[in-house]
């Protein structure tokens, strides 16, 4: 099984939009047995551009994305969580 974490900036729509392109590339160039954690970084910022419904729709479109976690590298909030979730998939 291949595992990935895909990080995007919750304050930049273009960053979120790029996730679809990236996931299409994952589908094109990897095996069907892929697990992806979607990571929305900068959750400490007030100016979120992405609504929860948009994240839900993205996850519905790509079943490879098995988890979504909002993090803040600046505040060290849930930074380790994506790695723990990916590790659980391996076990």
Q: Look up the CATH number of the domain holding residue 19.
A: 3.40.50.300
For residue 52, give its domain range.
2-90
* Straight-line distance from the first to the last Cα atom of the chain, in angstroms, rounded to the nearest whole number: 11
Q: Angle between the 13-29 and 52-61 helix axes, to the nearest 10 degrees?
A: 10
Copy the structure tokens of residue 76.
């060290």
pLDDT in tens, 44-54: 999 999 999 99
Q: What is the pTM of this model?
A: 0.92
pLDDT in tens, 61-87: 999 999 999 999 999 999 999 999 999
Q: DSSP of 23-88, one letter per residue? A: HHHHHHHS-S-EEEEEEEE-TTSS-----HHHHHHHHHH-TTEEEEEE-BTTTTBSSSHHHHHHHH
Question: Based on the structure, what is the number of domains in the chain?
Answer: 1
Copy the structure tokens of residue 14.
């273009």
pLDDT in tens, 18-31: 999 999 999 999 98
């Amino acid at each position: 099984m291949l595992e990935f974490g895909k990080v995007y900036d919750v304050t930049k729509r273009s960053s979120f939009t790029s996730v679809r392109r990236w996931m299409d590339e994952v589908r094109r160039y990897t095996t069907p047995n892929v697990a992806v954690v979607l990571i929305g970084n900068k959750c400490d910022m007030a100016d979120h551009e992405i609504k929860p419904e948009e994240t839900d729709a993205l996850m519905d479109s790509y079943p490879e994305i098995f988890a979504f976690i909002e993090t803040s590298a600046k505040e060290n909030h849930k930074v380790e969580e994506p790695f723990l979730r990916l590790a659980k998939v391996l076990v």
